[in-house]
Structure 1
Amino acid sequence: MSAQREMKEKNPWPTPVTIIIIIVIGVIAIVALVTVAVLQNKSVPQKYKYGIVLDAGSSHTALYIYQWPAEKDNNTGRVEQTHSCKVKGKGISSYASEPWKAGESLKECMGEAENTVPKERAHETPLYLGATAGMRLLDIVNSSASKNVFQAVEKALQNSPFSYQGARILSGQEEGAFGWVTVNYLDDRLKQGLKTTGALDLGGASTQISFISDNFDGSESPINSVNFRLYGNDYNLYTHSFLCYGKDQVLKMVLANQTQSGATTVLDPCFHSGYNETKNYSVLYDSPCVSGRKPQEAPEKFDHIGKGNFQECQKAVKSVFNFTFCKHSRCSFNGVFQPPLQGPFGAFSAYYFVMNFLNLTDTSMPLETVKQKLSQYCGTSWDKIKRQHPTVNVKYLAEYCFSGTYILTLLTEGYDFTAETYSNIKFIKKIKGSDAGWTLGYMLNLTNMIPAEAPDSPPLPHAGYVSIVTLMTILLIGLLLFVALRIFWPRCSKKTQIV
C-alpha cells in the first residue's frame, strides 16, 4: 500500500476523471467551432434589389426589369434580367402630334412592373428611360415636339411608385458602347478579364458597331473612341452609330432612290413578286433621312410592286452606301473610319429577329449558302409567303426579303466581314436569360454596379473554408484521442504490475 501511495504522489499526470473532462470539453469546443463556421457561412434566403430601364426605340418601346442580390450591392452582385414587357404600339417618337399618347402607351407595362417588383422595394428601385434614334430624328426635325413627348412620358413615369431618375436621348456612341458592355458583362468576360466580344446592334433608325481592336488607339478617329476601366482592366473601345441606317430608314432611302423621277409605279426587286400596295409619297418622305430628296412634282401616291430578285435588291441596297469617299487610312462606308475587325461578334436586336425568321442564324453555314437561301426566299411569290406565314403581320412579312438583303450587305460590304470571318458572328437574342441590348449596360453605368477596380474577394471560397475547418477539427480530435491513449495505456500497465 505504501508503494502505491508513493507512486500516486510521484505521478505528474492528471487523474482519469480530469482527462475525460478535458477531452469532453475539447470535443464540445471543436464541434461548436465547426457548427458556428457552417452556420455563419450557410446560404440564406436571397433578397434582391431592382432597377427598371425603358428602351424607347424608333419602332417600339420595351421595359426591362433587372435584379441583383441586395447584400452584394457594392460592385459584386450579378445583375440579371427578371422581366420584360413590350409596349403596345409604335415608338414614342410617333406620337409627336399627340404627345399625351406617348405617356398613355406606357401604362400597361408600368403596371406589370408594379406587380413584379416587391412593394417594399419599389421606392428604392431606380427607373430610367433612354430614347434612341427615333427621338434623335424627331429632335432634329422638331425639337419642341420632342420636348412635348418627353414631358408626357415623364408625367406618366413620375406617377409610378418607383424612384424615377429621368428620361433622355442617348447619343449613338452611348448606345453602341452600352450594348458592348451588356454583351460582355452577361458573358462574364469583363470580370474574368477575358478577350471581349464585339457588338452589332440594328434598330429601325440606326445601327451600331463596337469592338476592341489591337490596331485602334483612338488617335486616328477620337470621335469613335470610348475608354472604360472595368474590374481593373482598361478597354479602348471603337464604336460608331450610323443614324438613318436602321432597317426602316434604309428602306425609305432605297425607295427614295427608286422614286426620284416622281414615278406612279415602282417595280421593287426587294419585295416578292405579286406584292402590290399603293403608298403615299408624303409618308415615304416624312423622315429627315430622305425628306430633302422628295421630287418637286411628285404625285400623291405610287403603286409599289414587287419583283423578287435578290441580286437586283442588293444593288438597290448598295446604292445608299458611299464606298468611294475616305479621308482615313481605312473606312467602313460614308467616310467613317473603322479599324480591322477583330474577334467574335454578337449581333442582336433586328439582326437576330430578321435572321431568325429567315432561318439563317447558323453562321457555320457558308456565306455563299446564306446568299443562295435568301435568294430563294426573295424569289418566292407573295401569295405563297402569306400562306406559309398566316399569323405574321403583313407589313413586317413583306419586308423580310429587303431586311435580310440589307443585313448581309451591311455586314459584308459595309463592315467588311468576309466568307472567312462571317462565322465570327453569332446572332443572339438573349445571353443567360437576359436580352442583349444597351439597356443593361446603361443601368450598370448609372448605378456604378461595375467597379473600375476588381473587387476584393476572400482568400478561400466557402466550400474550401468549411473543408479546411472540418479537416483541422478531425486532426485535433485524433490528436486528443492519441494523447488520451498515451496517458491511459501506461497507467493501466503500471497498475497491473503493482498488483
Structure 2
Amino acid sequence: MAEQREMKAKTPWHSGKVICVAVFFIAALITLVAIAFVQNKPIPQKYKYGIVLDAGSSHTAVYIYEWPAEKENNTGMVRQRHTCAVKGKGISSYAQKSSGAGQSLMECIEDAKGNIPADKHEETPVYLGATAGMRLLRMQDSESAEEVMTSVKATLMSSPFDYQGARIISGQEEGAFGWITVNYLGKNFRKAAGTMGALDLGGASTQITFVSGQSVESPDNSMDFRLYGNDYQLYTHSFLCYGKDQVLKLALEKRLMPVETSLEDPCFHPGYSEKKSVKNVFDTPCVHTINKEDMDKSFTHNGTGNFTECQSSIMKVFNFSQCTNSRCSFNGVYQPPIEGTFGAFSAFYFVMNFLNLTGHSLADSKRGLEVYCNTPWDAIKERHPTVKHKYLAEYCFSGTYILTLLENGYNFTFENWKHISFIDKIEDSNAGWTLGYMLNLTNMIPAEAPDTPLMPHGGFVTLVLFLTIFLLILLLLWYKFLGLPSCSSPKEVV
C-alpha cells in the first residue's frame, strides 16, 4: 500500500520478554550488592575475660584482662583492660584478723563487676596469687597464713566470677611469669632478635630471669615454657628477704647489733631523726639476731647521708664467699653470665623514676645518688611535700640498694648497664608477673569457634564473577529485544 511506511521493527518495551529480562537484571544486581555488603561487614569480635589478683607484701592489686576468643599460635592475645588498687596493706598484714583479708578485696571485686559485661561474669575466671609477703608469713606462722588464704578464697568464691584458685605462688613462678610479661608486651616472641631478661623487685623479694645460652647447672633455677610454637628454657631465681623493705631491716640489723638506744645511718638524709620500736622494725622471719628480750626496746634512727658508706653498709647483707657452682650471684646461688637486654620493673622502676635515674649510666647514677643522699632532710621534705615521710625517707637507701644489687649482686657492669630498661607499662599494660600468669592460664582455656564471613574468599570471588557474567548476558538480551536506540527520524517510502 502507498500509505504503508517501511520502519525497522522493534519489540515494544512492555513485551513479556523485556519485562522478564528486567526482573532478572534487577534481582541479580540486588543479590550482588547484598552479598558484597554481608561478606565485607565487620565481624563482631568475641572476647573472653580473666581476673588476676596480685597479693603482694605491701598491697594487693586487681588486674582485669581481655583477649579474643580465637587464640593465635596457642597463646591468647591478652591485654590489660582495667586495674584496681585494694585499699590498705597486703593480705599478710591481716595475720591477727584473717577475716579482714577477704573483706579488703570486696570493693575491687565490685569494681570488676562493672568493668566486665554481665553476661560474661559466670565464665570469667578469677585467680589470686600471693607472693613474698605470704611466703614470709607461712614461714613465720603457717596456721595464720592458711587462715588468711581461706578468707580470700571465701570472698572470691562468693563473687559472680568463675573462681579458679587462690594460692601462694613460688618465687620461681613469680620471676618466670614476669619474664613472659615483658617479652609478650615487647612482642619479642615474634622477633628473631631474641628475648629480654626480667628484673623484678618487690617489698619482700627480688627476681632475676633470662634465657641463658649455657646449660643451667642448678635444676631448681630452671623452668621450661612453650610459647608461640617455641620452647624456652629459663634461668630464674627469687631471693626471699631481698625485697627493698626486708633488706632495709637486714641492713639496720647489721648496724644496730648489739641493740643500742641510737643508730647512725648513712642511708638516711642528714637531719633525719625518728624514734622507732625494735619490734615494729624487726618483727620478721628475715631477721635472726635480735633477741626476744630486746623486742620491747626502742631506738632513735638518725641519718648521716653518705652514699659511699651506705653502699658499704648494704654490701654486708650479701654473702659472696660461698659458691659451690662454677659461678654465683650471691648467697651461694648459681647464676650464669648475664646475657642480652633486661627489663627492670616494679620497685626497680618506681624508685629509679622518683630519683630521675632511669636513663642514666651506672657512673652517673652513683653521682646522682651521692648528691641526693647528702641533701638535708628538711630540704627533701620541702621538695616533695605530698610524699609520705616514711616512703620519702627511704629513697636514698632504696636507690643505693638497687645499684648495689644490680652491680654487685647480679653482676651488671658499667658496660652492660645500658642494656637495662627501667619500665612501668608497655602498651597500657603494667609490667609484672600477673599478665604472664594470665597468658599461661589462657592456654588451658578452650578457644571458641570464631565468627566467619558468609562464605570463603574463593567462593565469594566465584559468585561475584558468576553474577557479573549473568548481568552482562541480561544486558545483551536487553539489546537484542529492544535494539539500539536511534537518533534519526524514520524515512517514508512511497
Shorter-normalised TM range: 0.7 to 0.9
Q: Deviations over 1:7-44 (max 9, x none)?
A: xxxxxxxxxx999x999979986985686366335323
Which residue of structure 2 lines up, in the alignment, with residue 337 of structure 1? 334
Q: CA deviation at 1:105?
A: 1.1
Structure 1 position 160 matched with structure 2 position 159: yes
Whether the 8 Å contact between 1:332 and 1:415 is mirrored in structure 2 is yes
Deviation at 1:426, TM superposition (A): 0.8
Q: Is the 8 A contact 1:262 1:297 kept in 2?
A: no
2:77 is aligned to: 78
Q: 1:250 aligns to what SS in structure 2?
A: helix
2:271 to 263, 270, 274: 274
Q: What corresponds to 2:427 in structure 1?
A: 432
Q: Distance in 2 between matches of 1:437 and 1:113?
A: 20
Instruction: Say if 2:379 is the partner of 1:379.
Output: no
Residue deviations 1:382-408 (CA, integer Å, cap 9, x gap)? 101111111111111110110011111
| Secondary structure in structure 1 of the residue aligned to 2:270 | coil
Aligned to 1:257: 254
Equivalent residue number for residue 298 of structure 2: 301
**Do the aligned partners of residues 472 and 203 (structure 1) sit closer, same or farther apart at CA in structure 2, a change above 3 Å counting?**
same
Specify the alignment match of 1:210 in structure 2.
Answer: 209
Any idea what SS the aligned residue of 1:336 has? coil
SS in 1 for 2:172: helix
In structure 2, what is the equivalent of residue 140 of structure 1?
139
Contact 2:224 2:234 in 1 (8 A): yes
Pairwise CA distance, 1:419: 1.1
Q: Deviations over 1:114-139 (max 9, x none)?
A: 11111111111111111001100110
Partner of 2:394: helix, strand, or coil? Answer: helix
Q: What residue in structure 2 maps to residue 237 of structure 1?
A: 234
2:385 corresponds to: 390
| CA 481–408 in structure 1, closer or farther in 2 if over 3 Å, else same | same
Q: Matches of 2:33 and 2:343 in 1, distance apart?
A: 47
> Is 1:60 matched with 2:40?
no
1:121 alignment partner in structure 2: 120
Change (3 A) 1:344 1:38: farther
Does the 8 Å contact 2:171/2:239 carry over to 1?
yes
**Paired residues, number:** 466
Give the secondary structure class of the aligned counterpart of 2:318.
Answer: coil
- In the other structure, the counterpart of 2:189 is 190
**Aligned 8 A contact 1:124 1:162 in 2:** yes
Is the CA contact 1:351–1:407 (under 8 Å) kept in the aligned structure 2?
Answer: yes
Corresponding letter in the other structure for 2:403: L
Per-residue CA distance 1:261-319 (angstroms, 9 max, x = gap): 111110000000111001111122211110x2115764700100001111111111111
User: Helix, strand or coil for the counterpart of 2:314?
Assistant: helix
1:189 deviates by 2.1
Return the alpha-carbon distance in structure 2 between the equivalents of residues 472 and 36 of structure 1.
9
Instruction: State how far apart, in whole Å, the 2-side matches of 1:26 and 1:213 are.
Output: 69
Aligned residue identity for 2:365: V
Q: CA 1:475–1:32 in structure 2 vs 1: closer, same or farther (change >3 Å)?
A: closer
**Which position in structure 2 is the counterpart of 1:448?**
443
Cα pair 1:66 1:80 within 8 Å, conserved: yes
Local SS of the residue matching 1:348 = strand
Q: 1:427-477 deviations in whole A, cap 9, x for unaligned? A: 1111111111111111222231699xxxxx9xxxx9xx9799779968996
The question of whether the paired residues in 1 share the 8 Å contact of 2:201 and 2:207 is answered with yes
| CA shift in 2, pair 1:77/1:234, >3 Å | closer
Conserved? CA contact 1:231–1:450, under 8 Å: no
Match of 1:248 in 2: 245
Contact map agreement 1:132 1:169 (CA 8 A) in 2 = yes
TM alignment of 1:30-41, pairs within 5 A = 32=31, 36=35, 39-41=38-40
Contact 1:326/1:336, CA 8 A, preserved across alignment: yes
Q: 1:24 to 1:241 in 2, by over 3 A?
A: farther
Q: 1:225 to 1:26 in 2, by over 3 A?
A: farther
C-alpha distance in 2, partners of 1:273/1:241? 34
Q: Is the 8 A contact 1:328 1:337 kept in 2?
A: yes
Aligned 8 A contact 1:184 1:190 in 2: yes
Change (3 A) 1:72 1:227: closer
Over the aligned positions, Cα root-mean-square deviation in angstroms equals: 3.5
Structure possessing the higher relative contact order (Cα contacts under 8 Å, 6 or more residues apart): 2
Q: Which runs of 5+ in 1 are unaligned?
A: 1-16, 452-456, 493-499
Q: What TM-score results when the alignment is normalised by the length of structure 1? A: 0.84
Q: CA distance change for structure 1 residues 405 and 76 in 2, over 3 Å: closer, same or farther?
A: closer
Matched, 1:289 2:286: yes
Aligned-partner Cα distance in 2 for 1:102–1:388: 36
AA matched with 1:222: P
Alignment of 1:160-179 (within 5 A): 160-179=159-178
Deviation of residue 190 (structure 1)? 2.2
Aligned pair in 2 of structure 1 residues 123, 73: CA closer, same or farther (>3 Å)? farther
- % same residue: 59
Question: 2:73 touches 2:228 (CA, 8 Å); kept in 1?
Answer: no
Distance 2:458 2:409 in 1: 56
TM-score scaled by structure 2? 0.84
2:188 counterpart SS class: coil
2:414 matches 1:419: yes
Residue-by-residue CA offset, 1:316-371 (whole Å, 9 max, x unaligned): 11110111211111111111111111111111111111111111111xx3221111
> Which blocks of at least 5 consecutive residues in structure 2 are unaligned?
1-15, 484-494
SS at match of 2:111: helix
Are the aligned partners of 1:331 and 1:337 in contact in 2 as well (CA < 8 Å)?
Answer: yes
Q: What amino acid sits opposite 2:397 in the alignment? A: F
In the alignment, what sits opposite 1:399? 394
The answer to whether structure 1 residue 346 and structure 2 residue 343 are counterparts is yes
Change (3 A) 1:286 1:29: same
For 1:356, the equivalent position in structure 2 comes to: 353
Which amino acid in structure 2 is aligned with residue 434 of structure 1? S
SS at match of 1:293: coil
Q: Output the amino acid matched with 1:61.
A: T
Contact 1:261–1:295 (8 Å) recurs in 2:
no
Q: Which amino acid aligns with 1:318?
A: M
Contact kept in structure 2, 1:38 and 1:466, CA below 8 Å? no
In the alignment, the residues of structure 2 paired with residue 18 and residue 396 of structure 1 have an alpha-carbon distance, to the nearest angstrom, of 90
Query: SS in structure 2 opposite 1:272?
Result: coil
Letter in 2 for 1:293: T
CA distance in 2, matches of 1:283, 1:71: 51
